[in-house]
Amino acid sequence: MTPEIRKAAEILRAGGLVAFPTETVYGLGADASNAKAVARLYAAKGRPADHPVIVHFGSAERAFTWARNIPESAKKLAARFWPGPLTLILRRSALARDFITGAQDSVGLRVPSHPVAVELLKEFSGGIAAPSANRFGRVSPTTAAHVRADLGDEVDLVLEGGPSSVGIESTIVDLSGEGPALLRPGAITQQQLEKLLPGLETRNVSEVRHPGSLERHYAPRTPLRLVPAHDLDKEISLLRARVAVLAFSRPDERVDYWMRMPRDPQGYAQRLYAALRELDGAGCEAILVEAPPDAPEWAAVRDRLQRACSA
């Protein structure tokens, strides 16, 4: 146990805010059983108070104490994917209070795998409420530097843990209702889930109340547009303004700022948010993104890109 981790756990116990790395994105953490600490968390993020927040634990056993009527399917998913980039929505127990759940009868639970998060959760031992450590509606952070740039003054401590290996937020599965539903695609794919969850439906995100369903989300300040691969060349030739491009292909000399992305969905996801931040800072009037393939393994990346679009 490093002195930093010990200090972080002390800050959490005292009602403070600690940003910490997870394998998906960095989280802004507060003691999930402390109403005042969670209120501070929402204020720092600029997040509406009726939006529920995910609670993180060091083990499935602890996580499940915050739920009731836990279905067999939840236990199977936990055994298969925890620790890891999966969030389960379950019926809440009395431990999950209204200020965590947005007064809903369900709670979001996750056991992350990043070694720093694992150590912190072990030392703190309770549940850590943690949304992504960005201001509400902006691009999620995948490095400690991103967190400092967004929330530096509002956080008592930022734990360093290198770039997040997954790079996009956890897959969210709702098991609190009639049948299982995929609420947010992520690194754990629908195909992987369907093996354990026959009848999994994809719920239209606008039907559930969570910020991922707001139209404009994960968005850079510079207007961003998704362009089909076969239109990219034409779009570039029509350009009059200074633009930045995120693409699979080689740089085009007519374009001011070009970033080339990996052709595999995991590699792309891992770099996506850092790339959007970099392009956003390039002083361009627009960002053009070459649309990734319309294939199931790209679902999570496509979801985040669509939300980052301005139109």
Residues forming the site for Mg ion (CB under 5 A): 132
**Which one of the spans 18-26, 35-43, 196-204, 253-261 is the region binding ligand TXA (CB under 6 A)?**
18-26
Of 161, 212, 265, 292, the one binding ligand TXA (CB under 6 A) is: 212
Closest CA to 247 of 262, 237, 234: 262
User: Cβ(58)–Cβ(112) under 8 Å?
Assistant: no
CA distance 28 to 131: 6
Is 203 in a helix, a strand, or coil?
A: coil
Nearest approach in angstroms of CB 77 to ligand TXA is 15
Q: Which is nearer to Mg ion, 53 or 245 (CB)?
A: 53
The whole-angstrom separation of Cα 228 and Cα 233 is 10
In the complex with ligand TXA, which residue's Cβ is closer, 24 or 291? 24
What is the DSSP secondary structure assignment for residue 302, as one 8-state letter?
Answer: H
180 binds, among ligand TXA, Mg ion, none (CB under 5 to 8 A by kind): none
3-class DSSP state of 225: strand
Residues 87-146 that bind ligand TXA (CB under 6 A): 87, 89, 101, 104, 106-108, 110, 130-132
CA distance 106 to 174: 9
How is residue 212 written in tokens? 């991922």
Choose between 47 and 68: whose C-beta lies nearer to Mg ion: 47
- Could you say which of ligand TXA, Mg ion, none residue 58 binds, taking C-beta under 5 to 8 angstroms by partner kind? none
CB under 5 to 8 A by kind: which of ligand TXA, Mg ion, none does 30 bind? none
Instruction: Enter the DSSP assignment of 52.
Output: -
Question: Least CB distance from residue 130 to Mg ion, whole Å?
Answer: 10
Question: Could you tell me whether strands 128-129 and 27-31 are parallel, antiparallel, or unpaired per DSSP bridges?
Answer: antiparallel
Contact between 25 and ligand TXA per CB under 6 A: yes
Residue in the structure block whose two tokens are 């995948």: 142
* Cβ distance to ligand TXA smaller for residue 51 or 97: 51
Q: Does 58 bind ligand TXA (CB under 6 A)?
A: no
Cα–Cα distances (Å) from 136 to 58, 61, 68, 212, 214, in that order, read 26, 31, 30, 10, 11
Other Cβ atoms within 10 Å of 137 Cβ, number: 15
Q: How far is the CB of 131 from Mg ion (least distance, A)?
A: 5
User: Would you list the DSSP string of 263-302?
Assistant: SSHHHHHHHHHHHHHHHHTT--SEEEEEPPPSSGGGHHHH
Contact between 222 and ligand TXA by CB under 6 A: the answer reads no
Q: What residue 22 binds from Mg ion, ligand TXA, none (CB within 5 to 8 A, per partner kind)?
A: ligand TXA
Using CB under 6 A as the criterion, which residues of the chain lie in contact with ligand TXA when the complex forms? Answer: 22, 24-25, 27, 51-54, 87, 89, 101, 104, 106-108, 110, 130-132, 169-170, 172, 208, 210-212
